[in-house]
Amino acid sequence: MNFILPKYLQKDITVTTIRPPYSKSGLLPFLDTVTFNGSFGCVLLQSFHKTDFAIYQHVFRMKQQVSVKVEARQPMITLSYVLKGIIPCNLNGFGKAMLAEGWYHLYYVPVGKHTAAMPCGEAVVFQINFNQELIQELGNKYEVLRDVCENVMNESGKGVQQMAAEITPRIKEILNGIYNCNLEDAELELFLRARIYDLLLLYLEELSAAKRSFNTRYHFSKEDLQALHEISTLLQERIHEPINQQVLARYVHLHPKKLAEGFRLMYGVTIHEWVSRARIDKAKKLLKESSIPIGEIALELGYTTTSIFTRAFKGMVGCTPKHYRK
């Protein structure tokens, strides 16, 4: 996978390689880091390749919003965990996709150039690419993988985004183990392979449980599931606007009750809870990375008064915006 910046930003790029140990946390301690620095900011990349899987760590520290081309030279089946930030993307043959902090997806990424709208600020993505034969073998058991497997077998140019899943405490525990691993050579490979398979099985169990839930009350077609993905993207783009479930339902051609139930099953929360969490996540980012007054942040995120914003923030974070900024 290659990241291609716009031509006007390519002239002043400097590329360096940093080797562990690292003075700051957040980087995989057993891998070298390739850094790309320029007027746009900084990108840090780490990678670990084996025959049946590959690990990538992407850290984007952008000084400005930049539209980046993401080039896949071969089809990829990837689990992408968003540890920080929000990245709107466009996946060829699928359309708009949203990488949002605290969530992860399974993707089939076809050969070609896709688009990521990198926002100003920091974003961190931990990515696992899987061997196609492994996923095809699992597809015989897990129905949720069949769309991915079909596209792989047909060498389809149509991307696939499976249902989102939340990064749970158990997943955080596994990821923390990877980020704190100090093993080497064969022991390192054995440890990583075990943890990667743990993560894949947890995702398959999560999707299988969600699939059973989907079939208990409503029938959700492939188009309905796509509509539910579109809703999350729409909500992120209009995070500052009041939530009107009737309008959202008409937008994606679903009955309001079916939309509400499907959204809850797919994301584990209601639409209102999802938007509240997304607003507070963005508020935390603005409080830490900007000097924008708290009242302006409240208005930007759709709160009518600073006091309402403060109550919502304290209820979710445990402290006021003012104390969080300190």
Confidence at 216, pLDDT banded by 50, 70, 90: low
Q: Model confidence over 189-198: pLDDT tens digits?
A: 999 999 999 9
Mean pLDDT for the stretch of residues 255-283: 84
Claim to verify: residue 73 and residue 193 sit in the same structural domain: yes
Does residue 1 have a pLDDT over 60? yes
Claim to verify: residue 33 and residue 117 sit in the same structural domain: yes
What is residue 214's predicted lDDT score, i.e. its pLDDT?
54
The single-letter code of the amino acid at 38 is G
To the nearest whole number, what is the mean pLDDT of the chain?
86
Mean pLDDT for the stretch of residues 40-47: 94
Claim to verify: residue 259 and residue 192 sit in the same structural domain: no
Claim to verify: residue 66 and residue 206 sit in the same structural domain: yes
Query: Helices (H) and strands (E) in the chain — how many of each?
Result: 11, 14
Give the count of domains, the chain. Answer: 2
CA max distance for the chain:
57
Assigned token pair, 286: 């603005």
User: Which CATH number do you get for residue 311?
Assistant: 1.10.10.60
Asked which of 70-84, 138-152, 227-241 is least confident by mean pLDDT, the reply is 138-152
User: Which CATH number do you get for residue 144?
Assistant: 2.60.120.10
Q: Model confidence over 301-311: pLDDT tens digits?
A: 999 999 999 99
Which of 177, 230, 42 minimizes the C-alpha distance to 123? 42
* Residues contacting residue 25 through CB under 8 Å, at least 6 positions apart: 179
CA distance 301 to 283: 8
Element (H, E) at 119: none
177, 198, 217 - which closes a domain: 217
**Angle at the Cα of 224 (from 218 to 230), degrees rounded to 5?**
135
Asked which of 111-125, 147-161, 192-206 is least confident by mean pLDDT, the reply is 147-161
What is residue 211's predicted lDDT score, i.e. its pLDDT?
61
Q: Is the dihedral of CA 134, 140, 141, 142 positive or negative?
A: positive
Stated length of the chain: 326
Claim to verify: residue 136 and residue 226 sit in the same structural domain: no
The residue ranges of DSSP E strands in the chain, in sequence order, are 2-4, 14-18, 33-38, 41-49, 53-62, 66-72, 76-84, 86-91, 95-100, 103-109, 112-118, 121-130, 160-161, 165-166
157, 190, 217 - which closes a domain: 217
Claim to verify: residue 182 and residue 233 sit in the same structural domain: no
What is residue 260's predicted lDDT score, i.e. its pLDDT?
86
Claim to verify: residue 111 and residue 197 sit in the same structural domain: yes
Higher pLDDT, 194 or 234: 194
* Residues contacting residue 305 through CB under 8 Å, at least 6 positions apart: 298
Assigned token pair, 170: 């158990």
What is residue 61's predicted lDDT score, i.e. its pLDDT?
92
Claim to verify: residue 231 and residue 149 sit in the same structural domain: no
Does residue 31 have a pLDDT over 90? yes
Claim to verify: residue 79 and residue 193 sit in the same structural domain: yes
Distances (CA, A) of 101 to 164, 217, 279, 287, 291: 11, 29, 12, 16, 22
SS3 annotation, 279-303: HHHHHHHHHHHCCCCHHHHHHHCCC
3-state secondary structure of 321: helix
SS3 annotation, 138-166: HHCCCHHHHHHHHHHHCCCCCCEECCCEE
* pTM score: 0.73
* Residues contacting residue 21 through CB under 8 Å, at least 6 positions apart: 29
CA distance 125 to 132: 21
Distances (CA, A) of 160 to 30, 75, 81, 125: 31, 11, 16, 18
Claim to verify: residue 148 and residue 48 sit in the same structural domain: yes
Higher pLDDT, 162 or 211: 162
Does residue 10 have a pLDDT over 90? no
Looking at the DSSP bridge assignments, the partners of residue 114 are 70
Claim to verify: residue 261 and residue 165 sit in the same structural domain: no
Confidence at 123, pLDDT banded by 50, 70, 90: very high
217, 242, 257 - which closes a domain: 217
Q: Is the dihedral of CA 216, 217, 220, 225 positive or negative?
A: negative
Claim to verify: residue 211 and residue 250 sit in the same structural domain: no
Rg (CA), the chain: 20
Structural domain for 89, as ranges: 2-217
